Amino acid sequence: MKLGIAGLGTVGVGVVKIIEKHGELLANRCGQTLEITAVSGRDKTKDRGVNLDGMTWYDNAVDMAADPNVEMVLELIGGSEGVAKDLCEAALSQGKPVVTANKALLAVHGTELARLAEDNNTSLAYEAAVAGGIPIVKAIREGLAGNVFSRVYGILNGTCNYILTEMEETGGDFGDILADAQKLGYAEADPSFDVDGVDAAHKLAILTSLAYGTPVDFDSVYIEGIREVSALDIAFAKEFGYRIKLLGVARHTDKGIEQRVHPCMVRCETPIASVSGVFNAVVAEGDFVDSTVYEGRGAGEGPTASAVLADVIDIAAGRISPTFGVPADKLVDLPKVAVEEHVGCYYVRLTVLDKPGVIADVSAVFRDEDVSIESLLQRGRSPGQEVSVVLTTHEVQEAALLKALKRIENFDHTVAAPRMIRIATL
């Protein structure tokens, strides 16, 4: 099987290394030798630490699709538009299978690319696009194919999980821990894609389609990052018996599909709470299998390249599955549930002036909006100064809580916008 690799960054080089090291093993596992015949990258002269001799170099990766000496294309460039999209379309149109690690491309164009693959009797595979080395795509599409999923959720971004873990362990604030993460290479110079939740949302959109047989709909994902999570919130969470994690949650309800990415408070004793550092974890809840948990490295050269090779081996061995578990024409549009319709428990932190009547006013607003307080905490007294009042609620519709918080924000004794974090029942 002759392979063309487009993109010779961390993952692309990792794929070359695995094929060099485990060539005979891979051949035994897929029934034929894997040979890299063509490559494309930004700089032909760069020393990448691997031997590219004998491989055809393409300055324009799209041209690789027409090479008769390339039977399978590995798209490891990234980005939802441009060369990556053009290459995938060109290869699939010619009936050549595509393996990609590109979550942004699949989140935005996954459904149309799946149709293109099927129309040309070929395969579009993407294990490496979600949760790095964790084989969650294969688990949901094949290993758990006999189940209807009530919920799929998880920690889908290692950068955010590292930052939140460090904030908890050191007591540091978001900005300081982010700067440290950038120095260590865990966060990009521009970390927005990660810390604002977009990366996790791309992955969640793919998992939602895979789990529920619905077209990929990234635009319907509610996205909230971790910039507003403070050391104070993490300390209070610990006091209540929780840890804060950025979770992606896909859930099938009577109203339709929920897709949301946001910080959550999770009970310390739950499996997802113990996932620390740069690790990812996904939990799939099926009606017959109950709850299954998958944990591992969500990024990096080795884990992601390992996932790419898993797809390459499947295709080379003739094991081809529909992109999202069912044929593209069987994907069904399901109603999308707005986050304001979510019903759950919440953590709320208010910053108010410490004076008589404040708690009574807050309680009155919550009563009027039918929000029931489960617990309330205020540490110390500072008459006339600002203090934090922290509370948790019983189950309530989010729209009602937001209405209450808006009223509280307008109080004269409120000195900062209320902070709300959803409590996950796992």
Residue 320 within any structural domain of the chain: no
pLDDT, tens digit (0-9, with 9 covering 90-100), for 272-321: 999 999 999 999 999 999 999 999 998 888 999 999 999 999 999 999 89
Domain identity same for 18 and 35: yes
Residues with a known catalytic role: 203
Percent of the chain past pLDDT 90, that is, above it, reads: 88
Residue 370 within any structural domain of the chain: yes
**Can you give the pLDDT at residue 383?**
80
Domain identity same for 69 and 173: no
Report the CATH number that the domain containing residue 348 is assigned in CATH: 3.30.70.260
Domain identity same for 254 and 145: yes
Residue 335 within any structural domain of the chain: no
Per-residue pLDDT for 382 more than 80? no
Burial of 185 (0-12, 13-18, 19+ CB in 10 A): exposed
Domain identity same for 293 and 274: yes
Per-residue pLDDT for 423 more than 90? yes
Q: Name the pLDDT band for 49 (thresholds 50, 70, 90).
A: confident
> The whole model's pTM is what?
0.94
Of 88, 108, 129, at which residue does a domain stop?
129
Q: What residues make up the domain containing 175?
A: 136-297
Per-residue pLDDT for 185 more than 90? no
Domain identity same for 120 and 169: no
Burial 227-259 (b: 16+ CB within 10 A, else e): bebbbebbebbeebebbbbbbbbbbbeeebbbb
Of 106, 129, 152, at which residue does a domain stop?
129
* Phi and psi, residue 350, nearest 5°: -105, 140
pLDDT, tens digit (0-9, with 9 covering 90-100), for 201-251: 999 999 999 999 999 999 999 999 999 999 999 999 999 999 999 999 999
Q: Name the pLDDT band for 378 (thresholds 50, 70, 90).
A: confident
Report the CATH number that the domain containing residue 249 is assigned in CATH: 3.30.360.10
Report the CATH number that the domain containing residue 85 is assigned in CATH: 3.40.50.720
Residue 316 within any structural domain of the chain: no
Contact 82, 60 (CB under 8 A): no
Residue 36 within any structural domain of the chain: yes
Burial of 219 (0-12, 13-18, 19+ CB in 10 A): exposed
What's the rounded mean pLDDT across residues 145-152? 96
Domain identity same for 151 and 288: yes
Q: What are 171's two structure tokens?
A: 């007591």
Residue 94 within any structural domain of the chain: yes
Residue 244 within any structural domain of the chain: yes
CA atoms lying within 13 Å on the CB side of residue 57: 12
Of 87, 111, 129, at which residue does a domain stop?
129
Domain identity same for 290 and 150: yes
What's the rounded mean pLDDT across residues 92-115? 97
**Can you give the pLDDT at residue 262?**
98
Domain identity same for 166 and 58: no
**Average pLDDT value for the chain:** 94
What's the rounded mean pLDDT across residues 360-384? 89
**Can you give the pLDDT at residue 426?**
86
In angstroms, the Cα distances linking 274 to 238, 244, 261 are 13, 11, 19
Contact 352, 415 (CB under 8 A): yes
Domain identity same for 114 and 180: no
Burial of 357 (0-12, 13-18, 19+ CB in 10 A): exposed
Domain identity same for 196 and 105: no
Contact 298, 281 (CB under 8 A): no
Total domains in the chain come to: 3
Residue 334 within any structural domain of the chain: no
Contact 297, 132 (CB under 8 A): yes
In angstroms, the Cα distances linking 314 to 287, 307, 323 are 28, 11, 13
Domain identity same for 115 and 20: yes
Domain identity same for 263 and 117: no
**Can you give the pLDDT at residue 379?**
76
